[in-house]
């Protein structure tokens, strides 16, 4: 993931001291990750004709959610292990800073609960970032949108249409990583 290679683990935690700066960095990482996946999608589709870009983006989106919430199970190679260890350490410090800054609102929550809360509050924005380079007609594989009282596919830039345009059409981020 670009999340590990371009943003958080290389940035000093003193620069990310609030939720807005964290959201900016996560969205930038998601945007780069989405662009990277889009660049490989046509080649991948050559050997996997049923592959859909939105589904690939949804899986990567879920991985970002796992990293943010501290639930990432992927171990990686030795080089990536060091980067992941640094990322894990940085995120712990960042969420401690966020807790301090929002002490009245978050004081009763553990760091794990704060990470869950942060993801729930910001997942819609991260979805917009990871799908920002998609096109009209790019479709998510399940009918997850509600349209005129029935189900519909997210086929408008990997998003639902109309009043539901801001709804994230996937719940992969809540499916345990080993089941995806």
Most confidently modeled range among 32-46, 62-76, 106-120 = 106-120
Res. 4: pLDDT tops 60: no
Taken in order 125, 131, 134, 135, the sign of the CA dihedral is negative
| pLDDT tier for residue 140 given thresholds of 50, 70 and 90 | confident
Look up the CATH number of the domain holding residue 112.
1.20.1310.20
Q: What is this structure's pTM?
A: 0.86
- 144 within domain boundaries: no
List alpha helices for 1-150, DSSP H. 2, 19-47, 53-69, 78-101, 103-106, 111-130
Question: Into how many domains does the chain fold?
Answer: 1
60, 29 contact by CB (below 8 A): no
- Write the pLDDT tens digit of every residue in 87-107: 888 899 999 999 998 878 888
Res. 11: pLDDT tops 70: no
Which residue range forms the structural domain that includes residue 56?
2-134
Strand partners, 146: 151
């Amino acid at each position: 993931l670009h999340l590990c290679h371009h943003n958080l683990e290389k940035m000093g935690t003193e620069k990310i001291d609030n939720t807005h700066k964290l959201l900016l960095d996560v969205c930038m990482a998601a945007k780069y990750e989405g662009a990277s996946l889009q660049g490989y999608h046509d080649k991948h589709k050559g050997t996997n004709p049923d592959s859909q870009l939105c589904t690939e983006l949804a899986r990567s989106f879920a991985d970002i959610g796992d990293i943010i919430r501290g639930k990432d199970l992927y171990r990686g190679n030795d080089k990536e292990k060091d980067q992941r260890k640094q990322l894990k350490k940085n995120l712990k410090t960042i969420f401690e800073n966020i807790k301090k800054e929002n002490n009245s609102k978050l004081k009763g929550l553990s760091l794990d609960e704060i990470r869950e809360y942060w993801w729930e509050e910001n997942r819609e924005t991260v979805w917009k970032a990871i799908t920002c380079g998609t096109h009209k007609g790019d479709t998510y594989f399940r009918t997850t949108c509600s349209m005129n009282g029935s189900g519909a596919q997210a086929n408008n830039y990997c998003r639902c249409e109309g009043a539901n345009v801001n709804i994230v059409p996937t719940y992969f981020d809540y499916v345990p990583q080993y089941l995806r």
